[in-house]
Amino acid sequence: MKNLNSVFAAYMVGWAVFFVYYISIARRTSALRDDIERLKNSLTRGK
C-alpha cells in the first residue's frame, strides 16, 4: 500500500478543482441574474 496517500491526495486535489470551478460558475451565473433583474427593474421604473 505504498504511496496510497499520494494517490488519494492527487484524486482529492483533482476533484476539488473541478468542484470549485463548478461552484464558481453557479455563483457567477446567480450574481449576473441578479444584475439583469436589477437593470430590468430600473428600466421599468425609468419608463
Partner 1 sequence: MKKSVLSAMVVLLLLGTAAYAAFFVAPTDARQGLIYRILFLHVASAWTGLTSFFICFIANLLYVLRRQPRWDWLGVSAGETGLVFTTVVLLTGPIWAHPVWGIWWTWDARLTSTFVLWLLYVSYLLLRTLVEEPERRALLSALFGIFAFIDVPLVFGSIRWWRTQHPQPIIMGGPDSRLDPTMYKVLFFTWFAMLGLMTLLLRQRYRLEAMRGDLEMIQRESEAA
- Minimum CB separation of residue 44 from partner 1 in Å reads 11
| Interface characters, 8-47, with partner 1 (x: CB under 8 A) | -xxx-xx--xx--xx--xx-xx--xx-xx--xx--x--x-
Q: Give the C-alpha separation, 13 to 15, whole Å.
A: 6
Q: With helix as H, strand as E and coil as C, how does 12-43 read?
A: HHHHHHHHHHHHHHHHHHHHHHHHHHHHHHHH
Q: Residues interacting with partner 1, by CB under 8 A?
A: 1-4, 6-7, 9-11, 13-14, 17-18, 21-22, 25-26, 28-29, 32-33, 35-36, 39-40, 43, 46
